Structure 1
Amino acid sequence: MTRRVTEVSKTKKEAASILDGFKAFLMRGNVIDLAVAVVIGAAFTNIVNSVVKGVINPLVGAFGSQNLDHYSVCLKDPCKMAADGTVKSGVPILWGSVVGSALQFLITAAVVYFLMVLPMAKYLARQEARKKAREGQAANEPTPVTEVDVLQDIRDLLVAQRNGSADSAVTQQRTAGPDER
């Protein structure tokens, strides 16, 4: 009996840890970004489908059928199709629909690349260049002299005057940075 209770409590702890992990996953910002991307992608697919049906298919129609789905090859004659699109006899290969899908993919990929990926890459490159320029300026600028540095120099000069070597102490201090003293 106690063994069964122990197994049940282990199962509950595992379920609780799984739920905690799932909660942590949902609370990260990536899930929200992914959901937004899916919704925008679905809306974008409708636009691309409209472009293919309204522009690409009529251009192809200038050379043949306006619907790419009508292009096919028959492997086993006679190929007969019913009005609803089912095959009555033969083995048709509908290569036109594959070409149409490939065109939709290429158009989608091109639009995503040229309107989203490329501008974002250029923007990030500009931001990185600005960041490096700012870091380069900060590294080349001399460190400002603070009051504490001046007071330390005066103290060191007074100590050096007492010892009789004031000129060499000033030269050493001015050539060494504030961190090297």
Structure 2
Amino acid sequence: MTKKKEPTVWQGFKAFLMRGNVIDLAVAVVIGAAFTNIVNSVVKGLINPLVGAIGTKNLDHYSVCLKDPPCVVNADGSVKSGVPIMWGSVAGATLSFVITAAVVYFLMVLPMAKYLARQEARKKAREGTHEVIEVTELAVLKEIRDTLVAQRTAGHDER
């Protein structure tokens, strides 16, 4: 019996890298990193000023003191007294995520889904047309065959 040689770690790694989805993932990460700058600009330039009309311009300043109100935070960011819950930071990050997800969905996923649906409909229409042509051609060929057989039979009957 011969043993089947197992691929080396390097060969497995090379096969993994050569798969198409790894390249797609790398492209998505690069585009996502660039897209993050756009979303952050929208949040800082548009959303924060709108929130600033109600309160502070920076969501990071919204907090609740959990213990020993009021919370005292030193200028360097260290907490002097109390336990501050920085819910504004969480709200800002959530808002950034929702905006990112909405933009990705409406500008990338939805148009691509519509495009793929149109391509599939065109493909089915072409296949449907092709089948009708084949059936029609087959029917015509049968008619021609039947006519030729009838002519041949009629020609033999006359002799």
1:57-102: CA deviation from partner (whole Å, max 9, x where unpaired)? 0110011111101110001114111212222221111111111111
1:130-177: CA deviation from partner (whole Å, max 9, x where unpaired)? 11111111111212667xx9689857975x67997xxxxxxxxxxxxx
Q: Which runs of 5+ in 2 are unaligned?
A: none
3-state SS of paired residue (2:56): coil
Q: 2:73 aligned with 1:81, yes or no?
A: yes
> How many angstroms apart in 1 are the aligned matches of 2:19 and 2:156?
66
Alignment of 1:18-33 (within 5 A): 18-33=9-24
Letter of the 1:98 counterpart: V
> How many angstroms apart in 1 are the aligned matches of 2:64 and 2:117?
49
Q: 2:112 aligned with 1:120, yes or no?
A: yes
Q: Aligned residue for 1:17? A: 8
3-state SS of paired residue (1:88): strand
3-state SS of paired residue (2:80): strand
> How many angstroms apart in 2 are the aligned matches of 1:151 and 1:129?
36
> How many angstroms apart in 2 are the aligned matches of 1:50 and 1:86?
28
Q: Which runs of 5+ in 1 are unaligned?
A: 1-12, 165-181
Q: Aligned residue for 1:44? A: 35
Alignment TM-score, normalising by the size of structure 2: 0.81
Query: Could you tell me which of 93, 97, 108 is aligned with 1:101?
Result: 93
Q: Over the residues paired in the alignment, what is the CA RMSD in angstroms?
A: 2.7
> How many angstroms apart in 1 are the aligned matches of 2:145 and 2:132?
25
Q: Aligned residue for 1:63? A: 54
> How many angstroms apart in 1 are the aligned matches of 2:84 and 2:33?
31
3-state SS of paired residue (1:63): coil
Segments of 4+ moved more than 3 angstroms: 149-158, 160-164
Alignment TM-score, normalising by the size of structure 1: 0.71
> How many angstroms apart in 2 are the aligned matches of 1:55 and 1:101?
15
Query: Could you tell me which of 30, 35, 46 is aligned with 2:26?
Result: 35
3-state SS of paired residue (1:83): coil
Larger Rg: 1
After superposition, the Cα gap between the structure-2 partners of 1:153 and 1:19, relative to the gap in structure 1 and judged at 3 Å, is: farther
